[in-house]
Amino acid sequence: MPTTDYELDVLLSLDGSEFQFAAGYVVKIEAARIAATKGRPHGIKYSLTLHDPTGRRVYGMDNAHGIRRHGEYDHRHVHAGRKIISYAYHGPAALIPTAPAPDSRGLPKRLEVRFDNPPRRFAGKGHRMSRAITITRTDHSAAVLREVAGKSTDGAQVRRLLALAMVLEGRSRAEAAEQSGMDRQTLRDWVHRYNAEGIEGLVSRHGPGAPPALNPQQMAELKALVIKGPDPEKDNVVRWRCLDLREVVVRQFTVEVHERTIGKWLRRMELTRLQPRPFHPKKDAEAQETFKKTSPAW
């Protein structure tokens, strides 16, 4: 009387299953019975893959296609699938995630996922519930955090305050994070920040940005140059334009900026774009007055 292959039955029953692990890792299993072929003499088409929290495959075992010219089907995907290595199939038991017996308290021990021989261990904290986040500050209740969120103009801070309020109300970390548009690890990080710095620690912080192109001394020199005006013989212009000042900055300070940046600097120095009516540099004021006196009145 033929015996039942319980290991194969268990593997086939896991077809389409997903196992959630700590830190967001997921193991997906696909298994189906097919006709035995040269590439699949065991008559099983399977796929066992490990995915990171972003959904990217970081490791896998399958026989969905042949590799190399030898026609081998059983292979592993390592280094995020960039490398394929053939291996010897040792039966369905090597593809079934197995957990050790519970400890003396009746709690499950660390889950060990056996992919092939030798066994590989992934997600060492799998199937253990992630440690609950604890808000240690007691100076603000959930109602106070919601009140502060209603008055805040920082949208990101509002989401963080509401997430912490839900945690204080007893919501799970996953639910609070999902309702606030963030993942669980991000919420955990903000809890640590709140415990250390309070509500002010939840404000969005921005870096100082790129260093200024000109230091204060150079900006003062540029302002004095603009106020003094151009030298028609040297600069070939009678009044400054942003285009002209850009060339002056390149020539004098060895700094290249856009014309718009020159305009921003002028506004920051409170220099208006209004200019007096231009006049010819070689005009004779006395000749103009004489002409006004001797010219006939109209």
Collect all residues with Cβ–Cβ distance below 8 Å to 66 and sequence separation of at least 6.
39, 72, 73
Q: Same structural domain for residues 126 and 1?
A: yes
DSSP 226-278: HHH---HHHHS-SS--HHHHHHHHHHHH-----HHHHHHHHHHTT--S--PPP
DSSP 85-110: EE-----GGGGS-B-PPP-TTS----
pLDDT at 77 over 60: yes
pLDDT at 98 over 50: no
The amino acid present at 143, given as its one-letter code, is A
What integer pLDDT is reported at residue 80 of this predicted model? 54
Produce one character per residue of 205-231: b if its CB has 16 or more CB atoms within 10 Å, e if not: eeeeeeeeebeeeebeebbeebeeebe
Q: How many domains is the chain built from?
A: 3
User: Domain range for residue 168?
Assistant: 142-202
Q: Same structural domain for residues 122 and 3?
A: yes
pLDDT at 60 over 50: yes
The residue from 82, 98, 130 where one domain ends is 130
To the nearest whole number, what is the mean pLDDT of the chain?
77
Q: Same structural domain for residues 180 and 114?
A: no
Per-residue confidence band for 91, with pLDDT thresholds at 50, 70 and 90 = low
Q: Same structural domain for residues 39 and 125?
A: yes
pLDDT at 290 over 90: no
Per-residue confidence band for 247, with pLDDT thresholds at 50, 70 and 90 = very high
User: From CA 287, how far away is CA 87, in angstroms rounded?
Assistant: 103
What is the number of other CB atoms lying within 10 angstroms of the CB of residue 245? 20
> Considering the domain boundaries, does residue 283 fall inside one?
no
User: From CA 295, how far away is CA 290, in angstroms rounded?
Assistant: 8
Cα 96 to its chain centre, rounded Å, is 34
Per-residue confidence band for 206, with pLDDT thresholds at 50, 70 and 90 = confident
User: From CA 249, how far away is CA 255, in angstroms rounded?
Assistant: 6
Q: Same structural domain for residues 39 and 152?
A: no
> Considering the domain boundaries, does residue 280 fall inside one?
no
Nearest in space to 176 (alpha carbons), one of 151, 197, 194: 194
Q: Same structural domain for residues 36 and 146?
A: no
User: From CA 75, how far away is CA 87, in angstroms rounded?
Assistant: 5
> Considering the domain boundaries, does residue 251 fall inside one?
yes
> Considering the domain boundaries, does residue 124 fall inside one?
yes
The amino acid present at 105, given as its one-letter code, is R
Tell me if 39 sits within 8 A of 72, measured CB to CB: yes
What integer pLDDT is reported at residue 163 of this predicted model? 92
What integer pLDDT is reported at residue 87 of this predicted model? 60
Angle at 202 between CA 201 and CA 204, to 5 degrees: 105
What integer pLDDT is reported at residue 6 of this predicted model? 66
Produce one character per residue of 112-147: b if its CB has 16 or more CB atoms within 10 Å, e if not: bbbbbeeeeebbeebeeeeeebebeeeebebeebbe
**pTM assigned to the model:** 0.37
113-157 pLDDT per residue, tens: 444 444 344 444 444 444 556 888 889 999 999 999 999 988 889
Q: Same structural domain for residues 234 and 255?
A: yes
CB-based burial label for 242 (10 Å; 0-12, 13-18, 19+): middle
Per-residue confidence band for 195, with pLDDT thresholds at 50, 70 and 90 = very high
